[in-house]
Amino acid sequence: MTATKPGAQAGSGANADPDYAARRYSSLSRINRDDVHELVPLWTFSTGVLRGHEGAPLVVGGLLYAHTPFPNTVYALDLAHDGRIVWRYRPVQDPSVAGVMCCDVASRGLAYDDGLVFLYQADATLVALDAATGAERWRVKNADPADGATATSAPFAARGRVLVGVSGGEYGVRGHMTAYDAKTGKRLWRAYSTGPDADMRVDPQRTTELGRPVGRESSLKSWEGDQWRLGGGDPWGRISYDPELDLVYYGTGNPSTWNPVQRPGDNKWATAIVARDLETGVARWLYQMTPHDQWDYDGVNEMILTDADVDGRRRRLLMHFDRNGFAYMLDRESGELLRADKFDPDANWAKRIDLDKNSPGYGRPVLDEAFSTEAAGEDTPTRGVCPATVGAKNANPAAFSPQTGLFYVPLISLCMDFEPFRVSYARGQPYTGADTSVAAPHPGAMGGLLAWDPVKGAPAWRVGETFPVVSGVLATGGGLVFYGALDGYLKALDARTGEERFRFKTPSGIVGDPIAFSFGGKDYVAVLSGVGGWAGAGLTAGLTGTKEGENSPEVYAALSAYTTLGGQLTVFGLR
């Protein structure tokens, strides 16, 4: 089931029809629970880059498009000839860009629309390439790395538009989402995450939160002075889209700085879910999950769109597993919050989310002040906060199977000590304002895969992993769930029971997203391996013997005994 229609997104499960809903589900079933044990690697391809290979390959027709982290080389590989290189594109970028990228020099993938492949370079340049030849059709600069603004996210293509966010919350970069014309590169609209209504494309009467108008200058009123100008809220995660509602959905990152004492107020609209009109960029509704975020709980994790019966009526749903450890279910048309449950049982920063619609705190977390980093004050550590800043789940995507009705969530089980300190802004310099150290509450089990029942708001099953799971997940019509482990294994589990049915150790730790595709009447599974990202920083940046490594020895130092650097595509098929 290869991608032949416009709007394919890197990271889509089957790489067939556009995976606008971010379900990461492939209907392919030739590889299934009964024969997956016969899966073998058929061919491999070295990318030539030794950093964190996040995201997924993209299959369109008979070509597989593979991307690398910085310097962001793109390869078009011929599926009919075991990955023969049809063309390659090597961007020319200032190497200093790598020095201002947070959490490794990752790229989370490509997008395709109507004969064009879109690459979002690390230096925040968006490029359109001819899918057949690799020729550059246009390029546009979306942000300035001199400000600390870079690009790690995959572009998103739909209805002749390409959307890109920006990274840089750790440098005081004010977040924005921007839409470009797919054919010409002309900017169509830009919407900021913080600031005046006009900048954010917010209508104070028509844009709502939890069914109520947000009111005039909702963001400005939630910041002290002009701190919003450095307010972060960078949307560096994935984007979803409902074609019938013509709404795009994405999350915004942490407010800046990490030190909550320096930014009183709710700090809207950082750590929020945003629903915008694709054509105009005007916000339909907003929902802030972690007001006045004190723990760096970016809200950028993917928004999974499904339809189901809730409270006796058919609903268009949005499911979001946030870094803060809560699973949120909302009506994606109205923004109504339907439920919010802890999927991380160790999460202690909040006791629950207030779901009483008659309460003044409706939709807000009920905090546990023992874990408030602001209450502790500057230069004083708050100990044992769960989850850590990396979250109970990071930006690597979960999956949904319509076969089982379950969501499959990659897990991180880490807690932290968090010490805020006073920081001054300087353009292009780190603006974090906090020191953190992490530890595992359950040694030897720092991650896993969770099957989540949205009706019960509870786990259906869970399997553990030695290290955090920071690969994406893929569910298939063959009743399987695929994911990668930091020690290099690609695994397949029974989607209903969690029983392991397949494993194969690739040359390096997996932080990429598995895909399934069909070509020549046969089904295949492919994944990029190459340890990196925040979880592999000890290897990619040589931190195992440093203070940073000592602060988190279970993550940084221990991993070096299981895997090493690499960059490889592995394509699997049945014997």
- Residue-wise pLDDT tens digits, 424-444: 999 999 999 999 999 999 988
Q: What span, in angstroms and rounded, lies between the C-alpha atoms of 106 and 152?
A: 6
- At 564 the pLDDT is 87
Structural domains of the chain in order of their starting residue, each with its CATH number: 25-422+434-574 (2.140.10.10)
Q: What span, in angstroms and rounded, lies between the C-alpha atoms of 298 and 316?
A: 24
Task: For residues 514-529, give the mean pLDDT.
Answer: 97
Angle, vertex CA 484, rays to CA 289 and CA 344, nearest 5 = 30
- What's the whole-model pTM score? 0.95
Q: pLDDT (tens digit, 9 = 90+) per residue, 467-499?
A: 999 999 999 999 999 999 999 999 999 999 999
pLDDT over 70 at 566, yes or no: yes
- At 8 the pLDDT is 65
Q: How far is CA 160 from CA 113, 420, 430, in A?
A: 7, 44, 36
Task: For CA atoms 534, 535, 540, 543, give the dihedral sign.
Answer: positive
Q: What span, in angstroms and rounded, lies between the C-alpha atoms of 229 and 69?
A: 29
Q: pLDDT (tens digit, 9 = 90+) per residue, 529-538?
A: 999 887 777 7
Cβ neighbourhood burial of 464 (10 Å; 0-12, 13-18, 19+): middle
- At 15 the pLDDT is 41
Q: What span, in angstroms and rounded, lies between the C-alpha atoms of 120 and 141?
A: 10
- At 432 the pLDDT is 94
Contact 336, 345 (CB under 8 A): no
- At 115 the pLDDT is 96
pLDDT over 50 at 559, yes or no: yes
H or E element in which residue 547 lies = helix 547-551
Task: For residues 292-301, give the mean pLDDT.
Answer: 97
pLDDT over 90 at 561, yes or no: no
- At 11 the pLDDT is 45
For residue 227, give the 3-state DSSP assignment: helix
pLDDT over 50 at 546, yes or no: no
- At 556 the pLDDT is 59
Exposed e or buried b for every residue in 171-185, given b needs 16+ CB within 10 A?
A: bbbbbbbbbbebeee
Q: pLDDT (tens digit, 9 = 90+) per residue, 234-281?
A: 999 999 999 999 999 999 999 999 999 999 999 999 999 999 999 999
Question: Among residues 19, 123, 197, 296, which one is catalytic?
Answer: 296
At 166, is the pLDDT very low, low, confident or very high (cuts 50, 70, 90)? very high
- At 16 the pLDDT is 40
pLDDT over 60 at 61, yes or no: yes
Angle, vertex CA 243, rays to CA 241 and CA 249, nearest 5 = 20
What mean pLDDT, rounded, does the chain reach?
93
pLDDT over 50 at 4, yes or no: no
pLDDT over 90 at 2, yes or no: no
- What percent of the chain has pLDDT above 70? 94
296 assigned to active site: yes
pLDDT over 60 at 335, yes or no: yes
Q: pLDDT (tens digit, 9 = 90+) per residue, 17-51?
A: 568 999 999 999 999 999 999 999 999 999 999 99
Q: pLDDT (tens digit, 9 = 90+) per residue, 179-207?
A: 999 999 999 999 999 999 999 999 999 99
- At 96 the pLDDT is 87
Task: For residues 328-356, give the mean pLDDT.
Answer: 97
